[in-house]
Amino acid sequence: MSQQLIEKLKGFKVIPVIQINNVEQAVPLAKTLVENGLPVAEVTFRTAEAEEAIRLMREAYPSMCIGAGTVLNAAQVDRAKAAGAEFIVAPGLNPNTVRYCQEQDIAMVPGVNNPSQVEQALELGLTFLKFFPAEASGGINMIKSLLAPYVDVAFMPTGGIGKANVKDYLAIDRVHCCGGTWMVAPALIEAGNWDEIGRLVREAVELVNP
């Protein structure tokens, strides 16, 4: 992953992890994120609408930082890249998917939660990693334990992170940013409650940028 993209994600501090069930929600959601100070999204491939959602968001907001999440194989990498995703996030570390992303020249952030996986990532030339599922894997204590021996590694913790603990994660050196769903909860997106999402996004931005 380019240092430029890492610095961009680091600047946002919080990365909204988004599940789109209806493509008509994509552009209003992107608009809400952009207008409330968080022009970034990781759109998960958990739904069939993800690819089209990324395409619509990219067309509406070309400068927005958009990634694809829960990407499990090369076919999904191709679809995400063609739709306009600029980075790929996976829940785990699949060397085949990592190598494919490297061949396709698209940034990849695989998920890890133990030393063996960190070493596998380092062997593949990756140092910016998703720590997932963060809270279930030991949270802050586990991250500190992993960062100690691996001095070149930085993390994007995701999973179980909300406004109550996000600042504690971000206070750790080499935790560059955190993925979260609390400001873009699926129920709020489903209901089209853009005002409430906007309020939660503003609150999140203020929380992590005191």
Catalytic center residues: 42, 130
C-alpha atoms less than 13 angstroms from C-alpha of 131 in its C-beta half-sphere = 30
**101-106 long-range contacts, Cβ below 8 Å, gap at least 24?**
101/77, 104/77, 104/78, 106/77, 106/80, 106/81
Residue 103 CB contacts under 8 Å (≥ 6 apart), including other chains: none
Residue 39 near residue 63, CB atoms below 8 Å: yes
Tokens of 90: 């996976």
- Using the structure block, give the residue that is written with the tokens 């698209």: 106
**Residues 42 and 68 sit within 8 Å (Cβ to Cβ):** yes
Q: How far from chain centre, in Å, is Cα 202? A: 18
